[in-house]
Amino acid sequence: MNLGMWIDFNPHLQYGGYRDIMNEVNSILRDFTMEKGYGMAIKEIRFKFFIEEKIEFGRHGDGIYTKDKFAVLYAHLDAECFERLNASEKVKIALNGVLFLLNYWKRELAQPIKFDLNTLIADFEVLLAHGDFILSKSLAEGIMRKPVDSISFKFIVTTTIEVDDSKIQYDLQAIECFLTNELVGFSCGNDVRAFRIGYEIFDAKGRLNSFTSTAGYKLYSAKWRTLTVVCQFDFSKHGQLTPTEQFAELKKSILDGISGIAEMKRNPRGFDHERFHAKIDELLSIYGKMQFNA
């Protein structure tokens, strides 16, 4: 089974002004993977690079999805450095970025049993060497921007059509980007690399309010080093609050969820949840003052 690999520059924009470079790199990747397979677990790998002056690590939604047989890996490239390069050098940077992210996957993320990531990396290193694409490690890593030894923070939203989003006065994406950026370099142990809030909002007075089964739900995956905590909100009450009150309720719910980690039967023993609680409390207080003068 052939493996598909492709890159995307500035995936939130229409090609981000680098379509020719992207097409050339993807042509090289297609030739590299032709008639190659590295296992049944992964059929496609997507590499997404942001090239912007403002770096928002909260956009790095790395994931290994064995059910759908694909992986997606993200990095930022230093915009000022990248713009100074000629077209050939930009191609080299992108290809070295692919190698950088494959090695990141090997170090930081789970490896599916039926996928030979080590051989893929070795073969790709041969491609770079034979094609004269190799850059010095210091140059390549000097342009790459990818947090390591940090905790990413993300909201997983579940809602219903009975919830009027216009009445929610905080921006979850902005909050998760702020927290993830501020958590770069902050460690609470090696057992957790991703913290997920299952943000569930529904109208308790409405017809679509069957969320009781997930109330207080918490899950730790040692394989994926991911900790998930569910926080629920009753829109019939939450939507009536002022922006400051809404944010205060969100903050309290997040902190209560983190406090509850200690009560989990299967919790990450190498994760300092008290240190994490104190840091998130501090960061949400800063964000609240900046956005709501709270």
Start-to-end Cα distance in the chain: 55
Question: Which backbone phi and psi does 264 adopt, to 5 degrees?
Answer: -65, 140
Helices 117-130, 87-108: axis angle to 10 degrees equals 160
Mean pLDDT by 10 residues, the chain (294 residues): 90 74 96 92 96 86 92 94 92 95 92 95 96 83 82 92 95 93 89 93 80 84 91 95 97 96 90 96 97 84
pLDDT of residue 251: 98
Pairing of strands 226-234, 194-202: parallel
Measured in residues, the chain has a length of: 294
Residues 6+ apart with CB under 8 A from 158: 198, 199, 200, 201, 211
What global pTM score does this model have?
Answer: 0.81
Radius of gyration of the chain (CA): 21
Res 14: pLDDT: 64
Strand partners, 7: 47
Report which of 244, 262, 264, 240 is spatially closest to residue 252, judged by C-alpha positions: 244
DSSP structure class, residue 225: T
Alpha helices (H) in 159-272, listed in sequence order: 172-182, 235-238, 243-259
**Cβ proximity of 90 and 82 under 8 Å:** yes
pLDDT at position 1 is 65
In the chain, what is the greatest distance between 2 CA atoms, to the nearest angstrom? 65
Q: Quick one: which of 153, 4, 11 has its CA closest to 77?
A: 11
Q: Are 98 and 135 in contact (CB under 8 A)?
A: no
| Angle, CA 104 vertex, CA 99 and CA 109 arms, to 5° | 135
Residue 201: in which H helix or E strand, if any? strand 194-202
Instruction: Give the per-residue pLDDT at 174.
Output: 93
